[in-house]
Amino acid sequence: GIHVAKKIDKLGMRSSDTAQIFFEDVRVPCKNLIGEEGKGFTYQMLQFQEERLWAVATALTPMETIIQETIDYTGQRKVFGQPVLHNQTVHFRLAELATEVELLRSLLHHAVALYVEGNDVTKFASMAKLKAGRLTREVTDSCLQFWGGMGFTSEVLVSRFYRDLRLMSIGGGTDETMLSIICKYMDILPRK
């Protein structure tokens, strides 16, 4: 009763297979049932906060790595006789990005501390996930630009992260879904 229709070719995250799967008349023996029958959707919804916090945590190191590799590369790469890093636009931008990463880390730590205490962190997890999705795009785009033509090749890590981290704004709930959740918790979501 389980049929894999086709493997889907993706833009990024190529090491993780995605496929179209159909379940028809699949029976699960009682001994293999996890939780209460009919509660699968509810269980999925409950785990989203952990998934979103995990996603934010896993985005921090790649962003730090991209920033540091960009510092290293622009410190060595010379244009018009001086390192690219000596351009105020470049080093100021890298400082801004590093600051944003640290702010995201603080929001994550706050949300995790509240979660460990047993609090509902839906609002903060959604805020952190929204910021992580947008910040990964900002960091990868800015850093790739500083690599020039080399950044547009598959030979450097920044291009892989540019491609792969785009999923952060989609997987586990899109940016727009995060905004709707945040608005709901702020009691500013229009009612029908």
pLDDT digits (tens, 9 = 90+) for 140-158: 999 999 999 999 999 999 9
Identify whether the C-beta of residue 166 lies closer than 8 Å to the C-beta of residue 137.
yes
Provide mean pLDDT across the span 31-49.
88
Angle in degrees, CA 46, 172, 114, rounded to 5: 50
> Which pLDDT does position 165 carry in this prediction?
95
Q: What percent of the chain has pLDDT over 90?
A: 79
What is the arithmetic mean of pLDDT over 44-61? 93
Residues 19 and 61 in one domain: no
Domain CATH for 92: 1.20.140.10
Choice among 10-14, 18-22, 144-148, 165-169 with the minimum mean pLDDT: 10-14
Q: What's the 3-state SS for 67-79?
A: HHHHHHHHHHCEE
Domain assignment of residue 6, given as a range: 2-32
The residue type of 72 is D
**55 and 11 in a common domain:** no
10-23 average pLDDT score: 84
Say yes or no: 73 and 142 in one domain. yes
Burial environment of residue 105 by CB neighbours within 10 A (0 to 12, 13 to 18, 19 or more): middle
Do the domain assignments include residue 80?
yes
Q: What is the pLDDT of residue 192?
A: 82
Instruction: Based on the fold, state whether residues 10 and 68 are members of the same structural domain.
Output: no
Residue 132 CA to residue 136 CA, distance in Å, equals 6
Place of tokens 């640290």: 102
pLDDT at 129 over 90: yes
Q: Say yes or no: 72 and 131 in one domain.
A: yes
Mean pLDDT of 79-101: 98
Cite the DSSP H helix spans in the chain: 40-76, 88-116, 122-146, 157-164, 175-185
Give me the mean pLDDT over the 71-79 stretch.
97
- Do 64 and 125 share a domain, yes or no? yes
Calculate mean pLDDT across residues 62-90: 98
Is residue 191 situated within a structural domain? no
99 shares its domain with 6: no
| Catalytic positions, written as ranges | 51
Number of structural domains (the chain) is 2
Going from the C-alpha of 25 to that of each of 5, 22, 43, 44, the distances in angstroms are 16, 10, 22, 22
